Amino acid sequence: MNQLHRFVLCVSMLLAGITLDAHNDGFAEFEFIKNQGQWHNNIAYKVQLPEGNIYLEQGRLKFHLADMSVISQIHVGIFKGNTKHAKIKNHVYNANFIGCNTNCEIVQEDIQDNYYNYYLGNDKTKWSRETPVSHAVRYKSLYNGVDLLIFSKDGGIKYEFHCKDYAASQQIKIEYEGQDDLKLKDGIFTVYTSLGDVSESAPIVFHSSESNQDTVSAKYSLSKNILSYDFKVKEQHKNIPIVIDPDLIFSTYSGSTTTNFGATATYDSEGFLYSGSIIFGTGYPTTIGAFDRIFNGGSGVFGLPGCDVAITKYDTNGRTALFSTYLGGSGDEMPHSIVVNSRDQLYVYGTTGSQNFPTTARSYQDTLTRPNAANARTLEVAVSYHFWF
């Protein structure tokens, strides 16, 4: 087994304006999978999240959140207790469309070439072959004159109400049930659950005709547990089509397509968020100009495959990755803790088993002192980095 040595990484990030590379294959789009009898008949489509699912049903969206950390702990062998008694916490809440058409047509758009086969148990009526997958679903005439389009974009979930005119848009009201709390603050609508928060950014409303695509000032209105959209249009524009466009923000989603375990997280004085993860392959989203955009490999420790560290900085809403990088050498690395100091410099503490772990010219120690010591985990390597962009 390869030796693991602890390292300390100090990162000073001046990263305003850095965006994710549009050509980065790390962000996989969410898939909308059609129900062809393999699930309960209430479900029209299912979207699998990293920690749960969204079920698209007539008249509502059902959000099922699950705490997958227990599975991660079992996987890496650090679960405390008998795994037979392990319990996964779940939280389900609904977004109900009040007064909508409860028998509208729900259709796939942007259908993909891949499909799924489901063989669930011995009941062949629950089997589904060549189950189609798409990156978007449309509720046709959810309200009279209103379509709801839900789609995947840039590693996130978006939805839009396409309204034939202003009067049609005023029908939209969404009742939430099953959550712990609802809050509207600084234009952001947030659903609080026992397993994390789901937010919707301030809505963007605009006309969608060829002659008029002007943006309209809009905000949310929350009355008890009912959400609606508050905006006005000029009298002469009331018959022009309108699009209402908010974003869903899941606080726990990184956008990685490779197996990864969140190990540690923190924030700085301005509210920017930082995460440190254990990454087991290519596919983690990195940003342009990142320190290391390539998975460096490793031979595996503790029964796990080879792994690197991934460090990501998010904006204050947890919505956009401002900076994201791999960190490691040809051996295995794991982060244990990240801390931000009073100067908003990020320190990452962890272990390394790499002879070629990246070090600087003035580092206290630039090589492993006991490269052949089995199972060694001693405090021997201290590395300081400053990234300037």
Model confidence over 216-251: pLDDT tens digits? 888 999 999 999 999 998 888 899 999 998 766 655
Q: Where are the alpha helices (DSSP H) in 89-204?
A: 166-169
Average pLDDT (320-328) is: 80
Sign, Cα dihedral of 16, 21, 22, 27: negative
8 Å CB contact between 142 and 97: yes
Quote the pLDDT of residue 249: 60
| Residue 260's pLDDT band (cuts 50, 70, 90) | low
Q: What is the DSSP string of 343-370?
A: T-EEEEEEEE--TT----TT-S--S-S-
Instruction: Give the global pTM.
Output: 0.62
- The confidence band for 304, taking pLDDT boundaries of 50, 70 and 90, is low
Instruction: Give the span between the Cα atoms of 254 and 314, in whole angstroms.
Output: 10
Tokens for 241, please give them.
């089509």
Q: Indicate whether 196 pLDDT > 70.
A: yes
**Burial letters 92-124, b for 16+ CB under 10 A, else e:** bbbbbbeebbeebebebeeeeeeeeeeeeeeee
Closest CA to 281 of 258, 264, 304, 261: 258
Q: With bands split at pLDDT 50, 70 and 90, how would you rate the model's confidence at 386?
A: very low
pLDDT of residue 66: 86
Judged by DSSP in three states, 216 sits in strand
Specify the pLDDT at position 15: 31
Q: Which residue has the higher pLDDT, 35 or 324?
A: 35
Residue 107 pLDDT exceeds 80: yes
Percentage of the chain modeled with pLDDT above 90: 29
- pLDDT (0 to 100) of residue 369: 67
> Span 190-212, mean pLDDT?
83
Confidence of residue 24 (pLDDT cuts 50, 70, 90): very low
Give residue 362's pLDDT: 73
Residue type, 137: V
What is the C-alpha to C-alpha distance for residues 223 and 184, in angstroms, rounded to an integer? 10
Between CA 257 and CA 279 the distance in angstroms is 10
Dist. CA 186–CA 182, nearest whole Å: 14
Sign of CA dihedral 162, 167, 171, 174: positive
Give the range with max mean pLDDT: 11-25, 227-241, 280-294, 350-364.
227-241
Average pLDDT score over residue span 195-200: 84
State the pLDDT at residue 164.
Answer: 94
Alpha carbons 226 and 114: distance in angstroms, whole number: 38
Residue holding tokens 């049930």? 177
The pLDDT, as a whole number, for residue 36 is 93
Q: What is the mean pLDDT of residues 309-336?
A: 79
